[in-house]
A and B are shown apart, each in its own frame.
Chain A
Amino acid sequence: NAGVTQTPKFRILKIGQSMTLQCTQDMNHNYMYWYRQDPGMGLKLIYYSVGAGITDKGEVPNGYNVSRSTTEDFPLRLELAAPSQTSVYFCASSYSTLAGLTDTQYFGPGTRLTVL
């Protein structure tokens, strides 16, 4: 199993450009998450998904969009990139029971994004 994979590893964007960060997991996890990590800080939740076709906002969703058409993939879309979106982005996945109890979240290697 590859676990959680993310592409690209690094990206530089100009202000106003758009891009999609890719995330794929092969563990058949139903829950997937996108976090951002700013320098010297812990991670903050951007968006999450409890299954294919279901997504919801996290703590810091502004400027981002997501989709979940399959169990495996959870891309994060940045529209009109801004310098405030310079950060490291982590995708994670976990298994959740019907009772809503989630197992450990496993993280991808991250994408380092710089907006100039």
Chain B
Amino acid sequence: AQKITQTQPGMFVQEKEAVTLDCTYDTSDPSYGLFWYKQPSSGEMIFLIYQGSYDQQNATEGRYSLNFQKARKSANLVISASQLGDSAMYFCAMREAFRGGSEKLVFGKGTKLTVNP
């Protein structure tokens, strides 16, 4: 079963408008972390925002905010005032326990965001 589900293969938004990218997750571990990464066409993975499972408030970083609904197991990324440079793939990832007490990231399949002028 998928642990990270991103149901939107592609999204379109007009420049200067807000857009929400969906992410749901599945874990039985009470301690976990959720990340969003941006991958532009150049290919690098850029960290955007992090939400810990025990954080009381939704994370915000500039124009990025994370709408964290723990009971629904969702961690949607909200981008406000979209810019042309926001066009990219966006990946939701969850940190989970791995062998030997270590941790690893589990990634969703991504959402391709296109910002139209």
Chain A interfacial positions (CB closer than 8 Å to B): 31, 33, 40-45, 48, 50, 56-59, 88, 90, 92, 96, 100-102, 104-110, 112
Contacts and interface: CB of A to CB of B under 8 A. Distances in A.
B109 A41 contact: yes
B30 interface: no
Interface of B: 4, 35, 37, 42-47, 50, 91, 93, 95, 98-110
A102 B104 CA distance: 9
B45 A107 contact: yes
Nearest to A105: B105
8 contacts: A42-B91, A42-B110, A43-B105, A43-B107, A48-B104, A57-B99, A105-B35, A108-B44
Contact of A31 (B4, B102, B109): B102
A101 B46 CA distance: 21
Contacts of A58: 98, 104
Contacts of A40: 109-110
